[in-house]
């Protein structure tokens, strides 16, 4: 019954929903698109003009920044930044050790001179300009697939080089609508990022992997960082002499937060969605790709957890790796469960059939879909062939050796002709990545994980000649061979790794280091595979844009939203604070509160909140942060289809987390959530389990994002961790 209900609702226009809920909130919009949907924003209740939101130089978009993998926002004129705790996990881990375990205990700098470097790799990227360069990239490409691919790649590199005439900027050319459009994005790089305040992970990730993607939630998933620059105001590497960066804008905070039914919007850098992919691609993901990925992730999680339980150093060193892997694992399981629960394959096939019928009427002899399907079959076969082979090269030391050997080859070319990632512009990050192994690598763990991948390769049928030959050349047990390689390699030391950045191809070929020898052995095979992938990508660069052009025309004919799939670039999404019908007889309310945290607290990880947090709740030390009601008025309440609380007017607590219908995905972690006026009311940090499938299909009935409430953040700062110095720095609206 539940499955039939959700499918019916998904296929409907959403007209069953009451009041605000009648407006579908689908869309991860490029800022410049917002004026085209100004009427929808206004209808939802967003008060800031769409034209202002489209301007990256104006509030609040000039305060939204990227970490390269998450989103953050400036919250003071002194470069103070707020993001999720799990986004700053690496920075916290970087500064943690047995003497100062900031993951466990939390961290607070009472003054700027106590703030800690987030690490040499940490960056903030401030998007300053976005320019359509489609004509430059796609003009006169020709039809030879490999030449086409290489021409597109070269033109993108040329545009990036022109854009990066100032070394303080990082530029990229991103593909939108699967190659139908290209945009040049220019970002200022902040290279000195420091850790300012992080609550204990027992509060930040309360509930751990068990509660991940679940609701109700009670997570204090926030952390404050600070951006520093040289005394001249320009980006600089870490130095004690650096000064706080003065941003062009910083967000105002509304201490009153939001209520159910309030309009909200979020800005951030969503990673990847696949909403315009074909049904055959969804079937492949469901039937082969996701199950095989999940199986591997679970092996790695089990190993790291077991070894971490036996060694505290390993637990700290692999904390970030474990958290990210567990998150991916939970998401994969959620996708697989969601595909079964709502028959998303059936929904997409139904919609695809309608599109094909429309296309046949428009272009009776069109081969747009059949051409793409033929290429997708080849792509999926290649994926199966390479999955175990690529994983069999997963050793961190082998990966370093492979990249270094590739660099030696690329350095033989003019810089402009080198592969992306191996140009001079990339060398600082290249070196920083080699150094990072010191804090996120332990040979004892790495060799076990690699051995598992090698054994998985041996136990399947997609064989690769070069790897098989290497495996057969030594009769010693594989476990012993792997152990010997780690014992003999010099790549465990970062100075040795860095020295190889200047080595020649001949130096690598004569090396006796076992990982370098293996990298050399596999190089030709890896390069052949890469060339084949590029050739196929060249063919897809014709087929996908043709398909997307037709899809866009079809959607416009139905007055449906047309926005690109997420690709890690700045987007805006809007919605409403709202609960949802999770399953038969279960309606999940939009807010959680402090008492719910106490009820879940067992004192045993992961439900072991810090004692000072529990004490403050039991003492009802809520101060001005207490909220009487999270609903506007019981008599005119904005509920969904089903039931609401018997007496929803009473709340009398501090809101912890809340739900909204904004359209988010991975990369939106840390995204500022704004009220209708553009004031900060929360931080996005998760989605509900039922909503995980939104990467493939957006269902407005059950798709909800989970946010940490600004009132909980302010209460934690005030009553629990006493971050009085930071509270004074924030611009808090009453």
Q: What are the catalytic residues? A: 86, 221, 669
Dist. CA 591–CA 230, nearest whole Å = 43
Dist. CA 182–CA 139, nearest whole Å = 12
Q: How far is CA 155 from CA 135, 159, 162, 187, 592, in A?
A: 11, 6, 11, 19, 50
How is residue 438 written in tokens? 């010191």
Which residues, 6 or more positions from 447, have their beta carbon under 8 angstroms from its beta carbon?
395, 482, 483, 485, 486
Beta strand 253-254 pairing with 732-733? parallel
| Cis status, amide bond into 174, omega within 30 of 0 | no
Task: Say what the alpha-carbon torsion angle 646, 656, 571, 546 is, to the nearest 10 degrees.
Answer: -60
- CB 651, CB 627: distance < 8 Å: yes
Residue from 530, 341, 565 nearest 419 by CA:
530
DSSP state of 564: P
Tell me the H-state helices in 54-186. 89-94, 102-105, 134-138, 145-163
| Cis status, amide bond into 720, omega within 30 of 0 | no
- CB 433, CB 484: distance < 8 Å: no
List the beta bridge partners of residue 706: 659, 686
Dist. CA 212–CA 324, nearest whole Å = 11
Residue from 156, 164, 209, 221 nearest 187 by CA:
164
First-to-last alpha carbon distance for the chain, in angstroms, is 47
- CB 565, CB 555: distance < 8 Å: no
How is residue 518 written in tokens? 């293996």
């Amino acid at each position: 019954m539940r499955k039939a209900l959700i499918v019916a609702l998904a296929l409907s226009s959403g007209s069953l929903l009451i009041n605000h809920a009648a407006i579908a909130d689908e869309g991860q919009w490029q800022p410049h698109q917002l004026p085209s949907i100004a009427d929808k924003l206004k209808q939802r209740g967003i008060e800031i003009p769409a034209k202002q939101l489209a301007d990256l130089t104006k509030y609040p978009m000039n305060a939204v920044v990227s970490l390269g993998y998450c989103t953050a926002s400036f919250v003071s004129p002194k470069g103070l930044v707020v993001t999720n705790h799990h986004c700053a996990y690496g920075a916290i881990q970087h500064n943690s050790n047995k003497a100062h375990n900031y993951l466990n205990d939390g961290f607070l700098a009472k003054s700027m001179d106590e703030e800690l470097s987030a690490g040499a790799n940490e960056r903030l990227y401030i998007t300053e300009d976005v320019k359509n360069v489609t004509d430059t990239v796609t003009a006169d490409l020709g039809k030879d697939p490999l030449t086409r691919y290489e021409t597109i790649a070269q033109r993108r590199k040329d545009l990036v080089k022109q854009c990066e005439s100032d070394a303080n900027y990082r530029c990229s050319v991103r593909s939108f609508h699967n190659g139908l459009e290209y945009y040049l994005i220019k970002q200022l790089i902040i290279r000195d990022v420091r850790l300012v305040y992080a609550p204990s992970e027992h509060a930040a990730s309360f509930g751990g992997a068990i509660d991940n993607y679940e609701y109700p939630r009670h997570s204090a998933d926030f952390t404050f960082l600070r951006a520093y620059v040289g005394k001249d105001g320009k980006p600089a590497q870490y130095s004690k002499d650096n000064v706080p960066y003065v941003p062009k804008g910083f967000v105002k905070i509304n201490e009153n937060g939001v209520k159910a039914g309030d309009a909200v919007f979020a800005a951030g850098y969503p990673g990847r969605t696949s909403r315009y992919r074909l049904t055959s691609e969804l079937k492949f993901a469901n039937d082969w790709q996701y199950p095989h990925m999940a199986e591997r992730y679970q092996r790695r999680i089990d190993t790291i957890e077991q070894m971490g339980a036996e060694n505290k150093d390993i637990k700290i060193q692999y904390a970030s790796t474990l958290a990210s892997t567990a998150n991916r694992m939970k998401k994969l399981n959620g996708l697989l469960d969601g595909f079964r629960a709502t028959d998303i394959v059936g929904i997409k096939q139904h919609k695809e059939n309608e599109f094909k019928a429309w296309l046949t009427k428009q272009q009776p002899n069109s081969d747009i879909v059949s051409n793409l399907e033929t290429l997708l079959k080849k792509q999926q076969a290649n994926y199966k062939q390479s999955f175990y082979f690529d994983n069999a090269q997963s050793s961190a030391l082998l990966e370093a050796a492979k990249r270094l050997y590739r660099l030696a080859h690329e350095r033989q070319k003019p810089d402009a002709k080198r592969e992306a990632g191996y140009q001079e512009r990339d060398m600082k990050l290249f070196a920083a990545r080699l150094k990072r192994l010191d804090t996120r690598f332990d040979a004892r763990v790495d060799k076990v994980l690699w051995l598992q991948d090698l054994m998985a390769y041996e136990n399947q049928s997609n064989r690769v000649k070069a790897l098989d030959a290497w495996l057969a050349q030594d009769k010693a047990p594989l476990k012993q061979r792997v152990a010997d390689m780690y014992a003999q390699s010099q790549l465990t030391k970062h100075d040795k790794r860095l020295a190889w950045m200047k080595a020649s191809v001949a130096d690598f070929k004569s090396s006796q280091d076992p990982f370098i020898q293996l990298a050399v052995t596999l190089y030709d095979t890896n390069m052949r595979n890469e060339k084949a992938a590029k050739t196929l990508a060249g063919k897809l660069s014709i087929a996908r844009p043709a398909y997307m052009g037709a899809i866009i025309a079809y959607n416009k004919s139905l007055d449906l939203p047309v926005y690109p799939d997420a690709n890690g670039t700045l987007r805006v999404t809007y919605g409403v604070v709202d609960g949802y019908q999770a399953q038969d007889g279960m309606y999940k309310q939009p807010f959680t509160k402090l008492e719910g945290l106490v009820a879940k607290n067992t004192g045993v990880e992961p439900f072991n909140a810090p004692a000072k947090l529990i004490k403050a709740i039991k003492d009802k030390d809520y101060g001005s942060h207490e909220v009487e009601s999270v609903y506007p008025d019981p008599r005119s309440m904005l509920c969904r289809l089903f039931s609401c609380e018997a007496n929803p007017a009473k709340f009398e607590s501090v809101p912890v987390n809340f739900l909204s219908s904004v359209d988010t995905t991975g990369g939106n972690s840390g995204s500022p959530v704004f009220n209708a006026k553009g004031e900060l009311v929360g931080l996005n940090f998760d989605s509900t389990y039922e909503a995980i499938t939104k990467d493939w299909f957006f269902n407005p009935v059950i798709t909800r994002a989970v946010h940490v409430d600004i009132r909980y953040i302010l209460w934690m700062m005030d009553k629990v961790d006493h971050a009085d110095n930071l509270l004074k720095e924030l611009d808090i609206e009453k």
